[in-house]
A = this chain, B = another copy of it.
Amino acid sequence: MADVTDKRLLRGARTRKTVLERAVDIASLDGLEGVSFGRLATDTGHSKAGIQTLFKTKEALQLAVVDFAREMFIDNVVRPARSAPRGVARLRALLDEWVVYASTPLFAGGCFRAANLAEFDGKPGPVHDALFRDQREWLEVIAGELRHAVDSGEIADLDIDLAVFQIDAVLCAANTALRLGDDSAVSKVRRIVEGLLAAPR
């Protein structure tokens, strides 16, 4: 009996992963509203009833997609950069990993966050909250490295909030530019960020 249950759980976990990978692709292309049980069944070959059993409601499915995308972002951008020393070096590493992430996207439609924040900005609820919690978390990573660079005297004092707003804005613009095949955005982002990292006088 235990063996049958184990196999069933394993099969459920595999289905879950296949479905979520496809759902994240759909959401980065068409937004989370484009993610439905029916479309996922058609795209993955799993039964609609089986997918519904795993995720219950559309909202629960959307929340699982946000969480899955968040983990992929951490695994592919935030974690690799941790091998660089804190401060300016890690900020540059985060930028490098982000450029790879946005240029050869994990997700068919490019940056998952950029594709969905705008869609949910006027729709309060748990999915909105999860998306914005994820966004704040990412901005806090950038802020943390900037703060470290200032505190350790690596760079001149600067308005962290303003710098984070600016970095987030140019990354978001670069994501759009990259989708359009405009690679010059990458060097623009680097120049703008380097401009913020002035040596202390």
Chain A residues 157 to 201 lying within 8 A of chain B, measured CB to CB, are 159, 161-162, 165-166, 168-170, 172-174, 176-177, 179-180, 184-185, 188, 191-192
Instruction: Find the residue from A115, A121, A176 having the highest chain B CB count within 10 A.
Output: A121
**Beta-carbon contact of A162 and B192 below 8 Å:** yes
Query: How many of chain A's residues touch chain B, expressed as a range?
Result: 20 to 34
Distance (Å) between the CB of A116 and the closest chain B CB? 10
Output the nearest chain B residue to A191 by Cβ-Cβ distance.
B162
With a CB–CB cut-off of 8 A, which chain B residues contact A169? 166, 169-170, 172-174
In the assembled complex, the Cα of A114 lies from the Cα of B115 at a distance in Å of 11
Q: In the complex, given contacts A132-B180, A169-B173, what are 20 additional A-B residue pairs having Cβ atoms less than 8 angstroms apart?
A: A109-B122, A114-B118, A117-B176, A118-B118, A121-B180, A122-B179, A159-B191, A161-B184, A161-B188, A162-B188, A165-B173, A165-B177, A165-B188, A165-B192, A166-B166, A166-B170, A166-B192, A169-B170, A172-B172, A172-B173
Spell out A's residues near B (CB within 8 Å).
Answer: 29, 109, 114-115, 117-118, 121-122, 132, 159, 161-162, 165-166, 168-170, 172-174, 176-177, 179-180, 184-185, 188, 191-192
In the assembled complex, the Cα of A44 lies from the Cα of B66 at a distance in Å of 36
In the assembled complex, the Cα of A81 lies from the Cα of B35 at a distance in Å of 42
